[in-house]
Amino acid sequence: MTSTVTNNNLQKYIPVIGALNSKSGFAYQLTRGVTAIANASQMALAESYINGLEIPDSLVKGTVNAVLPIFYKYFPSLLVPYEWVLQESQELAESSRELMKVQYDLPEELFDLMLRESELIYPKYTMALWEKGASNILEAQKDMLDDVIEKLDIKDGDNILDLGCGFGASCNYILSKFPNVKVTGLNLSHIQCEYMRKKMQDPQSALSSDRFTLLEQDFNEAVFETKFDKVIAIGMLEHIGNLTNALEKIASFLQDNGQAFIHIISIRLPHNIWFPFLEKYIFPRARVWNYDQIPLRNRHLKTINQWYINGSNYRKTLSSWLKDFDANQDRIKTLNYGMDYERFRRMWRLYLLCCIAFFEAGNGQVLGNGQYLLVPNS
Q: Looking at the predicted structure, is the pLDDT value of residue 79 above 60?
A: yes
pLDDT band at 173 (very low <50, low <70, confident <90, very high): very high
pLDDT band at 9 (very low <50, low <70, confident <90, very high): low
Q: Looking at the predicted structure, is the pLDDT value of residue 7 above 80?
A: no
* Helix (H/G/I), strand (E/B), else coil: 281: helix
Mean pLDDT within 183-203: 97
- Burial label for 32, CB within 10 Å (0-12, 13-18, 19+), is middle
- Burial label for 312, CB within 10 Å (0-12, 13-18, 19+), is middle
pLDDT band at 344 (very low <50, low <70, confident <90, very high): very high
- Measured CA to CA, the distance from residue 32 to residue 34 in angstroms comes to 6
What is the DSSP code string of 313-333? HHHHHHHHHHHHHHHTHHHHT
| H or E stretch at 235 | none
Longest CA–CA span in the chain (Å) reads: 66
Mean pLDDT within 115-136: 97
Query: Which one has a higher pLDDT value, 228 or 83?
Result: 228
Global pTM reads 0.94
Residue whose C-alpha is closest to residue 21's, from 327, 192, 269 = 269
Q: Looking at the predicted structure, is the pLDDT value of residue 364 above 90?
A: yes
Q: Looking at the predicted structure, is the pLDDT value of residue 5 above 50?
A: no
Mean pLDDT within 72-90: 91
pLDDT tens, position by position, 264-305? 999 999 999 999 999 999 998 899 999 999 999 999 999 999
Average pLDDT over the chain, rounded to whole?
A: 93
Q: Looking at the predicted structure, is the pLDDT value of residue 34 above 70?
A: yes
pLDDT tens, position by position, 154-167? 999 999 999 999 99
pLDDT band at 327 (very low <50, low <70, confident <90, very high): very high
Q: What percent of the chain has a predicted confidence (pLDDT) above 90?
A: 79
pLDDT tens, position by position, 207-225? 999 999 999 999 989 999 9
CA atoms within 13 A on the CB side of 237: 31
Mean pLDDT within 42-59: 91
- Measured CA to CA, the distance from residue 117 to residue 253 in angstroms comes to 30
Residue whose C-alpha is closest to residue 92's, from 188, 192, 194 = 188
- Measured CA to CA, the distance from residue 344 to residue 314 in angstroms comes to 22
CATH topology of domain 96-316+353-376: Rossmann fold (3.40.50)
Over the Cα atoms of the chain, what is R_g? 21
